[in-house]
């Protein structure tokens, strides 16, 4: 897969490393990056192939993503701005709806849409020096990449209001303490790839069903969410991987999952 703004590389058989690749502008999100992400996430949803886990990071060591490219936006008409944002909206939704687990390896600063992109992933590993913020209200805007939805789900309503309404940045350690960041790392990419390897070693259909159950179940009441979980669970009972997992356990060997 060749893209103008993304670099993709297979890490072993089952992990796809995706790098936001505009280091000259701190990997800022422009129209083309939005289009590239829509294509990539849609392709992986339809045909994941051997990919079982994705790691998303940024090129260079300064930034994961500095947010929307404001130079590109300078002088945009309202209609062009709205059309561009529609592309961004579709990219964020495609990432959130991706059945494969996605780990954000936040290697540097993540501001605005960059932090929102990380929050659209399943969880975040961040470099110790990384700083993050949703500063949109300082520009006469507000978060528009699901930031007002994903941040309170991670950090709680009151913390999210404080961070979004003040537009104040926070560091990786604070993000960890507030439940936004899963792990503060000396090397975020290395640790994300290590965890991706552990995920990829598990039954891929089980991983996807479990992710779906968590993602959608949190949008339901407990009883409905549990019924959704059981429906997802029952889809796995007849799979070859379930049979292989039980057989391997009883034979005291490592299972060979095929995603079937």
**CATH number (domain holding residue 139):** 3.90.226.10
Considering the candidates 94, 104, 127, 136, report the single residue annotated as catalytic. 136
Q: Indicate whether 183 and 216 sit together in one domain.
A: no
Q: What is the CA radius of gyration of the chain?
A: 19
Of the pLDDT bands very low, low, confident and very high (cuts 50, 70, 90), residue 56 is very high
Q: Indicate whether 228 and 195 sit together in one domain.
A: no
Distance from chain centroid for Cα 84: 21
pLDDT exceeds 90 at position 114 = yes
User: Are the C-beta atoms of 200 and 14 separated by less than 8 Å?
Assistant: yes
Nearest to 64 by CA among 90, 13, 25: 25
Spatial separation of the C-alpha atoms in residues 200 and 13, rounded to whole Å: 9
pLDDT exceeds 90 at position 215 = yes
Mean pLDDT in residue range 172-176? 98
Domain-embedded: residue 183: yes
% pLDDT > 70, the chain? 100
Whether 136 is catalytic is: yes
Domain-embedded: residue 257: no
What domain range is 131 assigned to? Answer: 6-200
Domain boundary at 164, 180, 200, which? 200
pLDDT on residue 1 = 76
Q: Indicate whether 239 and 147 sit together in one domain.
A: no
pLDDT on residue 98 = 97
pLDDT on residue 123 = 97
Give me the number of domains the chain comprises.
Answer: 2
Domain-embedded: residue 234: yes
Q: Indicate whether 129 and 208 sit together in one domain.
A: no
pLDDT exceeds 80 at position 209 = yes
Any idea what the CATH number is for the domain that residue 217 is in? 1.10.12.10
Whether 116 is catalytic is: yes
pLDDT exceeds 80 at position 13 = yes
For the entire predicted model, the pTM comes to: 0.95
Considering the candidates 113, 145, 147, 175, report the single residue annotated as catalytic. 113
pLDDT on residue 212 = 96
Average pLDDT over the chain, rounded to whole? Answer: 96
Q: Indicate whether 170 and 125 sit together in one domain.
A: yes
Considering the candidates 66, 116, 130, 200, report the single residue annotated as catalytic. 116
Considering the candidates 28, 59, 68, 118, report the single residue annotated as catalytic. 68
pLDDT exceeds 90 at position 6 = yes
| pLDDT tens per residue across span 16-37 | 999 999 999 999 999 999 999 9
Whether 68 is catalytic is: yes
Spatial separation of the C-alpha atoms in residues 71 and 157, rounded to whole Å: 32
Indicate the Cα dihedral angle 175, 176, 177, 178, nearest 10°. Answer: 50
Mean pLDDT in residue range 55-66? 96
Mean pLDDT in residue range 110-139? 97
């Amino acid at each position: 897969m060749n893209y103008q703004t993304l670099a993709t590389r297979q890490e072993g058989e089952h992990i796809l490393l995706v790098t936001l690749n505009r280091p000259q502008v701190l990997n800022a999100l422009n129209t083309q990056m939005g289009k590239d992400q829509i294509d990539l996430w849609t392709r992986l949803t339809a045909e994941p192939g051997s990919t079982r886990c994705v790691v998303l990071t940024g090129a260079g060591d300064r930034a994961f993503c500095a947010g929307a490219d404001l130079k590109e936006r300078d002088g945009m008409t309202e209609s062009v701005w709205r059309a561009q944002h529609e592309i961004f909206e579709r990219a964020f939704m495609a990432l959130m709806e991706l059945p494969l687990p996605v780990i954000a390896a936040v290697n540097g600063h993540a501001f605005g849409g960059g932090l929102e992109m990380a929050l659209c992933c399943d969880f975040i590993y961040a470099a110790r020096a990384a700083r993050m913020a949703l500063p949109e209200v300082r520009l006469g805007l507000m978060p528009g990449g699901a930031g007002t939805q994903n941040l309170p789900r991670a950090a709680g309503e009151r913390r999210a209001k404080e961070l979004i309404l003040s537009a104040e940045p926070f560091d990786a350690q604070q993000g960890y303490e507030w439940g936004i960041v899963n792990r503060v790392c000396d090397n975020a990419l290395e640790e994300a790839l290590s965890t991706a390897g552990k995920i990829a070693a598990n039954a891929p259909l089980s991983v996807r069903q479990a992710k779906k159950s968590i993602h959608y179940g949190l949008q339901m009441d407990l009883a409905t969410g549990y019924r959704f979980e059981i429906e997802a669970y029952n889809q796995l009972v007849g799979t070859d991987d379930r049979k292989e997992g039980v057989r391997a356990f009883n034979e005291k060997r490592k299972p060979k999952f095929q995603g079937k």
